Structure 1
Amino acid sequence: METDMTKGSPLPIILKFTLPLFLGNIFQQLYNMVDTIIVGRFVGPGALAAVGSTGTIMFLVIGFSQGMSTGFTVLTSQRFGAGDGEGTKHSVANGTILSLFVVVFMTGISLLFMKPLLRLMNTPDDIFSDALTYISIICIGIVANVFYNLFSSFLRAVGNSRVPLYFLAFSSALNLLLNLLFVITFQWGVAGSAWATNISQAISAILCLYYIFKKAPGLAPLKHHWRLNWTDTRHQLSVGIPMALQFGITASGTMIMQSAINLFGSTAVASFTAASKFQNIAMQGMMAMGQTMATYTGQNYGKGDIKRIKKGVRLALGTEFIYAIVGSIVVCLALPHALLLFFSGDVDVSAMLPWAKTYIYLCAVFYIPLSTIFIFRNTMQGCGYGFLPMMGGVVELIARLVMAVFAIRFVSFPLSCAGDPAAWVSAALFTGIAYIIVMKKVEKKMSS
């Protein structure tokens, strides 16, 4: 099921590869939404707010780990595109070993500093205990999350976007069943929801690993591949570290934004949580196109076809613009109905709606600049350039920080919510310029 993206008409290849990624991302978001929906309906709005208040921390911890391990797979994509079978296997083994170090480091650090971090973020006292319980258990499961994303990224690097989708769909169904069992039957509260997530993702990782060794011989390392290679390590870290820092910097900005929102109480936090979870569904098409461009660019960069990379970017941008316009309309119209999923009948959803509308309406206007970030950022990373995409994260951080400072200064919920749109517009301008700079460097490198 490998796909050579260096041949044929780019748009059909891009769309065919993106669709399974899009469906997989939807399953991943439903996977995450199951926690909030079941907790919100069967434990209460306070528990939903507790889970929601940790969302930005999860993005920081899990995103940093995923960014590092996903960066390790860029080399795999490039070597596959270049037809280097032996090098492809070496990159898989080397990336797996490096990911083990990432998991040990991130698990230890996150558990050590989680409690003071929640205090620093102004987490309301009435949800603090549940928030700490939930995020601590999620951090224990970093190993499952990282290796599912690593193994599925290896498969995507060689053009296989369908198999990770199948395993994720199975795991999502399992996550739902385990949430129902642990939260409703066993009444484990937020802890049950967190353990359901960890167990389901661990099974996804095992299934992907099994498939690689049984069905994807071009990826499966042999005994002599399992050693750290300095050349591979240097290359993978040069891409993985900036990608991890980009996630970490972006997450730091969202944490600052979350800190401002936390000041408005658990009702505002619960409303914001439900709205942002719903919006994340709409964003998955943009993310999937970005993931596709990382693989597409990596393979064509390995082959040395810069013209094909540029053509693919133009086609992807046109597709993203259409998707962004449709997505913005859908989320605004569907928001009142979507909120009903997160709360039981005894909760006054009408009290939640104004908070949620403020956030969604502000964001929906800026989906087009948001969509360009995923294209430009992943294209640069597919070429092996990690610094400028990382600096795009710095731009987002600064924008969210400025908006959060004003929001806290003027005690304004709309200004708190405006942190995302401000970050998107700023990063879109930066990454667009950075993409032009990187393409000129790539052209110069390939012509020399």
Structure 2
Amino acid sequence: MATSLTTGRPWRVILSFSVPLLIGNVVQQLYQFADAIVVGRHLGVDSLAAVGATGSLLFLLLGFAWGLTSGFAIPIAQAFGAGDETAVRRSVATGVLLTGITSVVLTIIAPLISESTLVLLQTPEELLAEATVFTQISFIGAGATMFFNFLSAIIRAIGDSRTPLVFLTVSCALNVGLVVLMVGPLGWGVAGAALATVVAQAVSVLLCLEFVRRRLPMLHLRRDDWRVTRADVAEHLRLGLPMGFQASIIAIGTLAVQVALNTLGTDAIAAYTTAARVDSLAVAFLSSIGLAMSMYAAQNLGGRRPDRIRRGVIEATWIAVGTGVLLGVLLIAFGVPMVRLFIGDGSDDVVELAHFMLIVNGCGYWALGLLFVLRGALQGLGHTLVPTVTGVIELVMRVGAAVVLGAMIGFSGVALSNPLAWLGAIVLLVPAYIRAHHDLGRMAVDPVEATETSAIAIVGPVDGSMVVDAVLTQPTRTIRRSRLRLLNRR
């Protein structure tokens, strides 16, 4: 049910909100594990490599869709924090329309360009047929993936991170069963693995819609809510597009890594695919804290609580960095047994390469945790430029490492691409958030002025800084002086 994130101890609120996200991410990773295990053991290393060769291309387009829908949820969280149900419904209607349009475009265009794009990525010829089939089926089901992401995002935006977890768990369990059935007894190969995911996502969409119908009257759209204005569309695109492009920029870097891998042979592709599956489980812990931070910041921005945002970011940073260090130690220590789940007996070279990548990534998880928290906070505050630029930095660092270091030292150079990208991003994120942190501090009204103030209305981001209007019942001179001081202290 709807829950406010504007009250309670910040670290407890953030942790409580992030735990269901974390469990959901882990559950989602587990069913991806199931895909990889079933494909790897039933169809062989080549089929596993074929599925792995599609990862960067799928992430390029579906990652854009995920970022886009996550951005659409930020105005909803801000409106909910402000207690404006009309604005909540209008934001939902705007997001539904934009998500629908994007889904249609992806479903029509993406399957048509799948094979040619995989060829451009230098996918090995022996993997191309299976990789193409897997990619095309995944894109045909893009609408189900997008709407599940959007519906989950709007439910989380009103403070409920538990219900999407329930639906995701049901969907994942269904997916595992369908993968075993379609790849095993039915013998549909990698096509069955892709179709199982699409069907499971479609079921989760239906579950979300039924929950909204029964339990969330706040989100029941009325005729007037569908009268979306250009301003509504512009505001949602202002927040959604940068988050989508940010994911795409990161995916382009992943594509460069994929090209470098494709030149290193099937063992390198299989090792990277396997290590990425294990790595994604650890990353799920950290990304959940970042997503919780963005919803927390958005609601408290709408609720006019800059003090809580500042405290929340500091406390979430300690949680994320500490968790990153612990995860790195665990993954380095137990990486080999986890890799063996996918590979089975033999293929020692693949296991050795995968474990090396896990060691490299594990040493950088503290930086990834910091990255997720700071980026999530800035996105929740409505900042779009810096998070997007950090995506560009990640692209440059990741491509540079994959191409240059990959050519010099092979797989080891490609493995270094992730931590180098994370470190490059936080070099910009840290000073950017420090500035936002100071701006939030200036939003607090002095005690003397607070006695004269009836409300503080947040106008929104202006050139990356936060602006507030003091809505006073006292003389205009006091209003003007307070506003100018807040604007000029940069």
For residue 277 of structure 1, give the secondary structure of its aligned residue in structure 2: helix
The 5-angstrom pairing of residues 12-161 of structure 1 reads 12-161=12-161
Bigger shift: residues 173-182 or 412-421: 412-421
Deviation at 1:285, TM superposition (A): 1.2
Instruction: Identify the match of residue 394 of structure 1 among 392, 395, 398.
Output: 392
1:267 counterpart residue number = 267
Give how far 1:296 is off: 0.4
Distance 2:203 2:88 in 1: 25
SS at match of 1:340: helix
Which aligned pairs between 1:12-411 and structure 2 lie closer than 5 A?
A: 12-345=12-345, 348-410=346-408
Identity across the alignment (%) = 34
> How many Å apart are 1:437 and its aligned residue?
3.3
Match of 2:432 among 428, 434, 440: 434
Which position in structure 1 is the counterpart of 2:482?
A: none
Looking at structure 1, the residues matched to 43 and 344 of structure 2 have their Cα atoms a distance apart, in angstroms, of: 9
Contact 1:340 1:349 in 2 (8 A): no
Cα contact 2:391–2:425 (8 A) shared by 1: yes
CA distance in 2, matches of 1:155, 1:197: 22
State the 1:440 CA deviation.
Answer: 4.5
What is the alpha-carbon distance in structure 2 between the residues aligned to residue 391 and residue 319 of structure 1?
25
Segments of 5+ residues of structure 1 without an aligned counterpart are none
Q: Which deviates further from its counterpart, 276-285 or 432-441?
A: 432-441
- Cα distance, 1:411 vs. partner? 5.3
Deviation at 1:116, TM superposition (A): 2.1
What is the CA–CA distance in structure 2 between the aligned matches of 1:202 and 1:441, rounded to whole Å?
43
* Kept in 1: contact 2:316–2:373 (CA 8 A): yes
Query: What CA distance in whole angstroms lies between the structure 1 residues aligned with 2:226 and 2:47?
Result: 44
Task: Measure how far apart 1:227 and its partner are.
Answer: 3.2
C-alpha distance in structure 2 between counterparts of 1:387 and 1:31, whole Å: 34
1:120-139, Cα deviation, whole Å (9 max, x unpaired): 22211111111111011101
- Which one is further off, 207-216 or 289-298? 207-216
State whether structure 2 residue 430 is matched by structure 1 residue 412.
Answer: no
- Report the alpha carbon displacement of residue 300 of structure 1 after superposing the two structures with TM: 0.4
Which stretch shows the higher mean deviation, 21-30 or 332-341?
332-341
Counterparts of 1:258 and 1:437 in 2: how far apart (Å)?
A: 36
Deviation at 1:56, TM superposition (A): 1.2
Q: Which has the higher contact order (CA 8 A, sep 6+)?
A: 1
In structure 1, give the amino acid aligned to 2:131.
A
- Please give the alpha-carbon distance, in whole angstroms, between the structure 2 residues aligned to 1:102 and 1:216: 25
> Deviations for 1:164-187, whole angstroms, at most 9, x for unmatched residues?
000000111000100011000100
Q: How far apart in 2 are the matches of 1:129 and 1:344?
A: 24
Is the contact between residue 359 and residue 417 of structure 1 (CA under 8 Å) also seen in structure 2?
yes
The 8 Å contact of residues 92 and 220 in structure 1, kept in 2 or not, is answered as no
Quote the Cα distance in structure 2 between the aligned partners of 1:312 and 1:11.
6
Deviation at 1:210, TM superposition (A): 1.3
Offset of residue 203 of structure 1: 0.6
Query: Hey, what's the Cα distance between the residues in 1 that align with 2:227 and 2:341?
Result: 49
- Given that 1:287 and 1:374 are in contact with CA atoms closer than 8 Å, whether structure 2 keeps it comes out as yes
Partners of 2:290 and 2:348 lie apart in 1 by 36
Tell me what 1:445 maps to.
Answer: 467
Cα distance in 2 for partners of 1:387, 1:65 equals 19
Give the letter for the 2:75 counterpart. L
> Aligned letter for 1:305?
R
- C-alpha distance in 2 between matches for 1:119 and 1:432: 39
- Deviation of 1:92 after TM superposition, in Å, equals 0.6
Shift of 1:107: 2.6
Point out where structure 2 has 5 or more consecutive residues left out of the alignment.
444-465, 469-485
Task: Find the counterpart in structure 2 of residue 425 from structure 1.
Answer: 423
- Which structure has the bigger radius of gyration? 2
Aligned-residue offset at 1:306: 1.3
What is the DSSP-based 3-state SS (H/G/I as helix, E as strand, rest coil) of the residue aligned with 1:341?
helix
Amino acid at match of 2:377: T
Q: Is the 8 A contact 1:260 1:407 kept in 2?
A: no
Verify the 8 A CA contact 1:271 1:355 in the aligned structure 2. Answer: yes
- Does the residue aligned with 1:445 lie in a helix, a strand or coil? strand
d(CA) in 2 for partners of 1:133 and 1:44? 17
| CA drift at 1:115 | 1.7
CA distance in 2, matches of 1:219, 1:300: 20
Of residues 277-286 and 409-418 in structure 1, the stretch that sits farther from structure 2 once superposed is: 409-418
TM-superposed deviation, 1:350: 2.0
**Contact 2:282/2:327 (8 A) holds in 1:** yes
Shifted more, 201-210 versus 107-116: the winner is 107-116
Alpha-carbon distance in 1 for matches of 2:319, 2:269: 34
Which piece of structure 1 moves more, 293-302 or 403-412? Answer: 403-412
Give the secondary-structure state (helix, strand or coil) at the position aligned to 1:73: helix
Q: Secondary structure at the match of 1:131?
A: helix
Post-superposition shift, 1:224? Answer: 2.6
Shift of 1:229: 2.3
Number of aligned residue pairs: give it: 446
Report how far residue 408 of structure 1 moved. 4.5
Q: CA deviation at 1:409?
A: 3.3
Conservation of the 8 A alpha-carbon contact between 1:257 and 1:417:
no
Task: Work out whether residues 396 and 424 of structure 1, in 8 Å CA contact, stay in contact via their aligned partners in 2.
Answer: yes
CA distance in 1 between partners of 2:407 and 2:18 (Å): 43
